[in-house]
Structure 1
Amino acid sequence: MTTEPSLDDHVDAVLASPAACRRIVRQISEWMLEGRLDEARWESVAGELVRTARRQAQRRR
């Protein structure tokens, strides 16, 4: 009998892969632009993306 990998196993695999992290950030950013993060429960996620983008823009100046 095979068992499904745990959520922690999936998270560890993603954190070990820059490409996987990039894909997650890209997907969440697309959801934000599409308005899919407008619900109150997702507000903190959208806010963190905005704060991250602002900090990155300031670093590039």
Structure 2
Amino acid sequence: MRLHKKIILFGGSFDPIHTGHLRVAHHAMGELAADEAIFIPARRSPHKSEMPTPGGHRFA
């Protein structure tokens, strides 16, 4: 038994989150033998010109 959890931090705009994001996180967890993935939504994507969906709607 490990003393510490291995956690992946996954940052992105996730606006909206979709199955591709979940697949990447799941694959990374398997490759890195991680116990958990934490999604960290960015306030605004540098690749999109429109305003993002309000944070309260993207937080789960």
Report the TM-score when normalising by structure 1. Answer: 0.31
Radius of gyration: which is bigger? 1
Query: Between Structure 1 and Structure 2, which shows a larger proportion of helix residues?
Result: 1
Report the TM-score when normalising by structure 2. Answer: 0.32
